[in-house]
Amino acid sequence: MSKRYIVITVGRAIFPETSGMASCGSYNKDAIYEAEGNERIVLFPDKDLNRCPANGSVGVLAEVGQILDGADKSFIKVTYRAYGLVILKNTEIVNFRAYAETESASYYTADAEFARTLFLKAKSAYDEYLKTPGVGKRAIFSYETANENMHNIIARSGDDRHKFNFFRTLNTEERILLFINTLREMAVLADIDISVDKKVKDAMDLNQREYYVREQIKALESEIGDEEDEAEEYYNKIDALNAPDSVKEKLRKEVRKTKKSAPASPDMALLKNYLDTVLELPWGMLTTDNEDLKNAQSVLDEDHYGLDTVKERLIEALAVRKLCENGRSPIICLVGPPGIGKTSIASSIARAMNKKFVRLSFGGVRDEAEIRGHRKTYVGAMPGRIISGIKTAGSMNPVFLMDEIDKMASDYKGEPASALLEVLDPEQNSNFRDHFMEMPFDLSKVLFITTANTLDTISRPLLDRMEIIEMTGYTEHEKLEIAKRHLIAKALKQNGVQKKWIKIKDEAILAIINLYTRESGVRSLEQKINAIMRKVARKFVENPEEKLITVSKANLSAFLGEARYGEKHKSENDQIGVVTGLAWTAVGGDTLDIEVIITEGKGETILTGNLGNVMQESAKIAISYCRGVAKELGVDSGFFASHDIHIHVPEGATPKDGPSAGITIATALFSAITNKKVDRTVAMTGELTLTGNVLPIGGLKEKSLAAVRSGVKKVFIPEENKKDYKELPENIKSKLEFVFVENVKLVLKQALLNA
């Protein structure tokens, strides 16, 4: 009969070739004491200390050294020395004590080669396992070297549960396979770990998210509340609108759209912008017109000096307008140089008729969309200038001044002028469609007035639609009167200066007109007067005791600095080949010197001074004319072949064009050819034909004014301009001697001085 051993269940996988410490249930104490010193016992590692070993279980034959109390009374610790692996047989329980016979056993390898392969596999499986996300903290297997003790190494690895399994599996190959499986299991666990972690985290996030979502919902709810209030507000506004039903219906549709859009979306912003803009328009708002023409006349007179014909035309236009209520009253276009009162007379009309006034500049408009607006789906879309202007005016029947329509350009984005045509056409403008608005707006009650500096750049169809009222420059006398009656009073008010503080003498005003400004209108004059007022204001602020300040010609420079222009420059000496011409430009009349120099050469002609095509042709005509009549004037016929002619018009940077310099060029040429000086006090204008005839010119008043401004005494003008001459103000006629010419020969005779 084999020897029976007491079997003690210990809570650790212990190993047969080593000694160590294990814990067991404290009820084993007696049995252990019994065995102590004389007998070996069998330690049976199992994670359940109360389990009885079954037959075939694996244990370790050991000698117990010391018994130590555990942390609590329920278990004790024993030190042991192992004497080899055993398999239990014939196990039995007697008096709560387990006994078993033993059969010695050991770990073994059945196929070393296979075991080795498996082990390598295990090793790489382990390396692989270490790379699995989340295994970091589970990497509890520890082995660095793999050699003869591989079974131990593996057996000692893993957590207790694995260790018990490894301990019990005697076949090495099996144990390695178990190890590999364990790794798999562990990897899956790690993965589970991750997903659990994630789930935990998600749960947390969810909580937070929920919080935010709830907050958001709250915010949205309040916003939706606002939205609904807002929608309600829109509906109310629409109901109250004095607009056609179709318009109201369209607006309501847009409001319904706002309900479908997210509150903070760009769509919503667009919709609101649209609704706000359209609702702000003065639908159905009409101011009551004062159609009393006498009143209109007196307002115009009150605000403006002179301009009699302009006022007359305006009053006539108003009369026509009154008679054909919804008829085709033409659009007034005020044309003339800057600073001449176009804007201010238009605003006077508004005042006279008790209309609102709005002024928009069309200078530089090149895109049709600026007039008609951008489709509302564009980000930042806005209505065009017309609708914006109406919005500013706040009524549907204002005076709408379109400034500088001659400065409109066209480019690839369409022709703004044609859009303007539609606006100005009484047959179409009651249904004006702005791209942004997407609904018709009635412009037929608007009194449109346009302004331009020149008609040259205005398209023909647009011109046809308008009634042109030309405004010419002011004479020195008119300017003086305007200053005395209007500009000074305005400047006093603008600068807070009291009338009793300052007296500006007429001579001072005239000096400003002639020496400090050179313009057709009165804009610079107004600026200079303002400059004086500012100086006066300062003086009185600095010294309230200041006495009346008198501005005279003599002390003018103390206010305005040195004069910009000299006294009438025509005191210069008479010269050969230099003649004063008279030009008419968009900014008024001007004098224009033409210079000719003749040098020995090969009959070439040089033209300089930025001359336009028409002006170049004038020069060629003048040369041909001169050649034609050279003999008559005593010039050798070979002269032209052996000389070069250079014609220059100074201020090369300014482009010049037009036919009216014809006779001037011819005169300069003759002066150069014949070496005769030209009278510097004469000026001339007229188109020249090849036969020497002089054709009429435009802008006589402007040109004459320019001549007076620059000190010219005598002007040659075409015979055919006599009718224009008759309309000239007396004070121009009295300052200038006009000579009417049919043929340039007369000019040559009178202007060229005999040496």
3-class state of residue 275 by DSSP: helix
Give least dist CB 366 to ligand ADP, A: 22
Active-site residue flag, 2: no
* Helix, strand, coil % over all residues of the chain, rounded to 5: 45, 20, 35
Pairing of strands 4-10, 97-105: antiparallel
Of 40-48, 317-325, 332-340, 573-581: span binding ligand ADP (CB under 6 A) = 332-340
Closest to ligand ADP by CB, 307 or 736:
307
Minimum Å gap between C-beta 430 and ligand ADP is 29
The one segment of 69-77, 208-216, 338-346, 699-707 that binds ligand ADP by CB under 6 A: 338-346
Q: Cα(512)–Cα(515) distance, rounded to whole angstroms?
A: 5
Q: Of 334 and 665, which has the nearer Cβ to ligand ADP?
A: 334
Task: Give the angle 244-246-248 at the CA atoms, nearest 5°.
Answer: 75
CA–CA dist 340, 705 (Å, integer): 14
Question: Would you say 465 or 486 has its CB closer to ligand ADP?
Answer: 486
Residues 468-487 that bind ligand ADP (CB under 6 A): 482, 486
Q: Which is nearer to ligand ADP, 345 or 443 (CB)?
A: 345
For residue 701, the minimal CB distance to ligand ADP (Å) is 14
The span of 58-66, 261-269, 337-345, 381-389 binding ligand ADP (CB under 6 A) equals 337-345
- How many chain residues touch ligand ADP (CB under 6 A)? 17
By CB under 6 A, which span of 7-15, 107-115, 188-196, 522-530 interacts with ligand ADP? 522-530
Q: Which is nearer to ligand ADP, 370 or 526 (CB)?
A: 526
* Spatial contact of 417 and 409, defined as CB atoms under 8 Å apart: no
660 catalytically annotated: yes
User: C-alpha distances in angstroms, 20 versus 23, 64, 164, 371, 505?
Assistant: 10, 10, 16, 100, 127
Q: With binding defined as CB under 6 A, does residue 593 bind ligand ADP?
A: no
Among 4, 2, 7, smallest CA distance to 64 is for: 7
Of residues 435, 365, 444, the one with CA closest to residue 400: 444
C-alpha dist (Å) from residue 210 to 202, 219, 224, 263, 632: 11, 14, 20, 21, 108
Residue showing the smallest CB distance to ligand ADP in the complex:
341
| Long-range contacts, stretch 386-392, CB < 8 angstroms, 24+ apart | 386/423, 386/432, 386/434, 386/443, 387/281, 387/434, 387/436, 387/437, 387/441, 388/360, 389/358, 389/360, 390/281, 390/282, 390/358, 390/441, 390/443, 390/446, 391/277, 391/280, 391/281, 391/282, 392/358
List Cα–Cα distances, 456 to 330, 446, 462, in angstroms: 20, 26, 12
Which position among 157, 703, 710, 735 bears the catalytic label? 703
Among 46, 367, 434, 526, binds ligand ADP (CB under 6 A): 526
Minimum distance, C-beta of residue 402 to ligand ADP, in the bound complex (Å) = 12
Q: Which stretch binds ligand ADP (CB under 6 A): 23-31, 79-87, 244-252, 339-347?
A: 339-347
Q: Which residue in 282, 338, 373, 581 binds ligand ADP (CB under 6 A)? A: 338
Give the C-alpha separation, 34 to 89, whole Å.
Answer: 22
Binding map of ligand ADP across residues 429-468, x = CB under 6 A, - = no contact: ----------------------------------------
Of the listed 520, 660, 671, 710, which one is catalytic?
660
Distance CA 246, CA 490 (A): 48
Span of 27-35, 288-296, 365-373, 521-529 interacting with ligand ADP by CB under 6 A = 521-529
| Residue 339: CB minimum distance to ligand ADP, A | 5
One residue of 258, 277, 287, 343 binding ligand ADP per CB under 6 A: 343
Q: How far is CA 308 from CA 135, 311, 313, 332, in A?
A: 102, 5, 9, 16
Site for ligand ADP in 284-313 (CB under 6 A): 304-307
Which chain residues interact with ligand ADP by CB under 6 A?
A: 304-307, 338-344, 482, 486, 521-523, 526
Active-site annotation, residues: 660, 703
